[in-house]
Amino acid sequence: MRATALSLARCRPPLQYLPMPDALSNSQTLCDPVTLEIVRGAVRAAQAEMEALIERTAISAFIREKKDFYTALFDADGVMAVGSNLPVFGDICGPVFRDFAPDTMKPGDLYWYNDCYGSRGAISHSNDQVLLAPVFHDGRRCGFVMGWAHFSDIGGLRAGSISPDTTDIFQEGIIVPPTKLIDAGATNEGALKIFFRNSRFPDQNLGDMRALMASTALGVRRIEEIAARFGREVMADALRQLVARTRNLVRTKLAETFDYGTHRFTDAIDADGHGNGPFHLRLALTREKRPDGEDRFIFDATATDDQAPGPVNLLLNPDVPGTALSMFYLGGDPAQVCNAGGPQAIDEVRLREGSLLWPKFPAPLGMRGLTLMRFLAAVNGLINVAGGKAPAAHSAYVISFLRGTFRDEAGELKPFLMSDGIGVGWGARAYADGTDAVYFVAQENYPVEFLENGYPVRLRRYGILTDSCGAGRYRGGCGIVREYDILAEEGVLAVRIDSVKNPPWGMAGGMAGGTGRVLVNPGTNHERRLQPLSDGNVLKHGDVLRIETGGGGGYGHPFDRPPESVVEDVLGGFVSAEAAKRLYGVVLDDGVADHAATARLRAKRPPTKAFHRHVYVDSLA
């Protein structure tokens, strides 16, 4: 019998992590406010140029079309000063520094790794490759630049290196510990050959690695130019101020949101692909007074359930909770940047070894994105229970891997791998609807033309999934429906859909978002419904595959949504006329709101509670 998370927490002391080195230690200001903004803009421009280079030169679809890549800039001590708006960054530089002392680094060096456990979750699944390069000016180290991208296949149990079937991380592809890929300009070609040899699609990896290497080289040049223009000391002070600005803002917002005491929130993922689940994420944030009168914020996830046998474990780097909180508080403000100030705003992070959020080696991690998305929703829930008005819950973006063979123009069988990620609906906000059909942050859904040109499929249908949004004063975002004709000779499908048994919760009277599903040959005598987290699903030429993705939770009572907005939703295909009447109390007559009938329905206003998942509840457990 699996031991409970609570009993393990009592038997074994929780792991405790302090934040990264504080960038506030230097109190002297060398960079004036105007120069600070110029430096910030220059660094962000360099970052954007690095990302554009990756997008335009990478080979694999997941990088070039899906845009699953990121870049970042760190100061001379490895503190992240400017990063992408992605709340999964951990301590990127620390793993390299443990094996290669910064003072031994030289111009032209480049370091590489994808070791999840060795990096303590800075990388959270093995497909993600990180390149890190030091930057020098006048012979002195002044920073680091990073390129990070998801490589489509690095070996392992199945093509794509990610499968619900895996039971340990060795089945998820080659593991690269921190390695010096380039030594003062000389490339370690042997290491690259080993890496490429372990892939089923080595040419893709070769092209993607060249793109990532070129991006970091470009970043080095651009940061060198910034240091030369403003001076190393001024640039260093500008980066220090950017981190301090983020830290101070986040701590101020935390104090405004969280009263003294402990605030708790629980959410859950459905399953792990091996017949286990649900798995609960139990988060707590405590605000207390230090002896010196300053606030102390403690993030605690030790009560989270034990790790899963299947690959849904999330190796949560201790910097991630602070980064996730900071992304809510930064709120897209162009004057702010995502950096180490977010993690530094949290005084202590507590994780329990052997839990879903800090699994023991070699637990599988490949589908950790499912748990990450639920973790981010749980952070929103934690803010909400404290009165912070974060968005309602979102769905976890859907992943599918179609592997098989097709006949080329010469009639020869060729292997293919279609790795796809499909957008979902995001949670409604306290002031606006949730976003529709978004994959994650800046990543994109594949265009129809690209899919049909690159893979043996034909798109029959691609659009918004009607009624997948959670009803509310502000509705949740809608998911997507995609329907494919299978043109391959044969194929095997792996799919990842979550939030079916535990749909995305609605907030403040809003209702839960809709759920996803996968059907083969829908509407025929041969229709079959696939398990939402499964592999080994055989498809043949002529089959029809339909994937439906879930929506986001709503915010506020549905009866408070203006009838005109509901009519717009119906005419736009987001909400059906039947759901408009049943959930929103809005009656339509020939595409126009019947205000008298609507008023009669809305007079019978149903009661609500704080959260909604299947039914209204005061708290989720």
pLDDT at 340: 94
Q: Which of 188, 212, 244 is the last residue of a domain?
A: 244
Count of helix runs (H) and strand runs (E) in the chain: 14, 26
d(CA 282, CA 263): 11
* Three-state secondary structure string covering 275-313: CCCCEEEEEEEEEEECCCCCEEEEEECCCCCECCCCCCC
Q: Which has the closest alpha carbon to 538: 550, 530, 547, 546?
A: 530
Count of the separate structural domains present in the chain:
2
For 27-60, what is each residue's pLDDT tens digit?
Answer: 568 999 999 999 999 999 999 999 999 999 999 9
Within a domain: 316: no
> What is the average pLDDT value for the chain, to the nearest integer?
93
Q: For 16-57, where are the alpha helices, taking DSSP H only?
A: 33-57
For residue 130, is pLDDT > 60? yes
For residue 164, is pLDDT > 90? yes
pLDDT at 257: 98
For residue 17, is pLDDT > 50? no
Q: Residue 158 sits in which domain range?
A: 20-244
pLDDT at 19: 41
% residues pLDDT > 90 (the chain): 90
Higher-pLDDT residue of 431 and 443 is: 431
Q: In Å, how far are 189, 195, 205 from 181, measured between CA atoms?
A: 8, 12, 15
Task: Give the orientation angle of helix 320-330 with respect to helix 232-257, to 10 degrees.
Answer: 80
Q: Which has the closest alpha carbon to 105: 217, 182, 47?
A: 182
For residue 5, is pLDDT > 50? no
Within a domain: 139: yes
Structure confidence at residue 24 as a pLDDT band (50, 70, 90): very low
Instruction: Give the strands of the sheet with 544-548, arranged side by side.
Output: 457-464, 480-486, 544-548, 517-520, 528-529
Q: In Å, how far are 95, 347, 424 from 19, measured between CA atoms?
A: 15, 7, 33
pLDDT at 87: 57
For residue 15, is pLDDT > 70? no
For residue 1, is pLDDT > 80? no
pLDDT at 28: 64
Within a domain: 297: no
pLDDT at 88: 66
Please name the residue that has the structure tokens 């006949």: 407
Q: Under DSSP, is residue 254 helix (H, G, I), strand (E, B) or coil?
A: helix
Bridge partner list, 71: 147
* Three-state secondary structure string covering 326-357: HHHHHCCCCCCCECCHHHHCCCEEEECCCECC
* Token reading at 254: 């935390």
Please name the residue that has the structure tokens 């949504």: 561
pLDDT at 29: 80
pLDDT at 63: 94
DSSP state of 560: G
Provide the strand spans (E) within 510-617.
Answer: 517-520, 528-529, 533-540, 544-548, 588-589, 592-593, 611-613, 615-617
**What single string gives the DSSP state of each residue in 110-138?**
EEEE--TTTTTTSS-STTEEEEEEEEEET
CB half-sphere exposure, 70, CA atoms < 13 A? 22
The full length of the chain comes to 621
For 332-347, what is each residue's pLDDT tens digit?
Answer: 677 788 899 999 999 9
Within a domain: 532: yes
For 559-591, what is each residue's pLDDT tens digit?
Answer: 999 999 999 999 999 999 999 999 999 999 999
Q: Which of 194, 229, 244 is the last residue of a domain?
A: 244
For residue 524, is pLDDT > 70? yes
For residue 13, is pLDDT > 80? no
Q: Which of 185, 212, 244 is the last residue of a domain?
A: 244
* Token reading at 590: 């020939």
Within a domain: 358: no
Within a domain: 283: no
For residue 25, is pLDDT > 70? no
- In the chain the first and final C-alpha atoms are separated, in Å, by 21
For 70-104, what is each residue's pLDDT tens digit?
Answer: 999 999 999 999 987 665 668 999 999 999 999 99
pLDDT at 337: 86
Q: How far is CA 172 from the centre of its chain?
A: 19
Instruction: Give the strands of the sheet with 413-422, arranged side by side.
Output: 413-422, 398-407, 490-496, 533-540
How large is the greatest C-alpha to C-alpha distance in the chain, in angstroms? Answer: 78
* Three-state secondary structure string covering 378-426: HHHHHHHHCCCCCCCCCCCCEEEEEEEEEECCCCCEEEEEEEEEECECC
Bridge partner list, 134: 144
Q: Average pLDDT, stretch 300-328? A: 96
Within a domain: 270: no
Q: Average pLDDT, stretch 234-242? A: 97
Within a domain: 329: no
Lowest-confidence region among 5-9, 258-262, 523-527: 5-9
For residue 23, is pLDDT > 70? no
For 482-505, what is each residue's pLDDT tens digit?
Answer: 999 999 999 999 999 999 999 999
pLDDT at 3: 37
Which phi-psi region, left, alpha or beta, contains residue 407 (left: φ > 0; alpha: ψ -120 to 50)?
beta
